[in-house]
Amino acid sequence: MDFCDDASATETKFQQMAMANHLAGAKLSANTESQTHCLECGEEIPQGRRDAIEGCQYCTACQAERE
C-alpha cells in the first residue's frame, strides 16, 4: 500500500463512523415526539413535516444547516 491507499482507507473509516453516528441520532429522534416549533430558530414546524418526519426537532432550514 502506498500513501494514497492509506489515506483512502482512513477516509472510508471516518465516513463509516460518521454515518453510524448520524443513524444512531436519527433512531433516537424517531422515538421522540415531533416539536411544534424549531428548537434552533423558534419558527413553527409545518404539520406536513411533523407528519413526514417522526420526531423532527428542527425546521427544514435549520436541519439543513445542521447537516
Between CA 45 and CA 29 the distance in angstroms is 15
Between CA 26 and CA 44 the distance in angstroms is 21
CB 58 within 8 A of CB 40: yes
CB 30 within 8 A of CB 55: yes
pTM: 0.54
Each residue's pLDDT tens digit, 39-55: 999 999 999 999 888 88
Least confidently predicted of 19-23, 34-38, 44-48: 19-23
Between CA 29 and CA 19 the distance in angstroms is 15
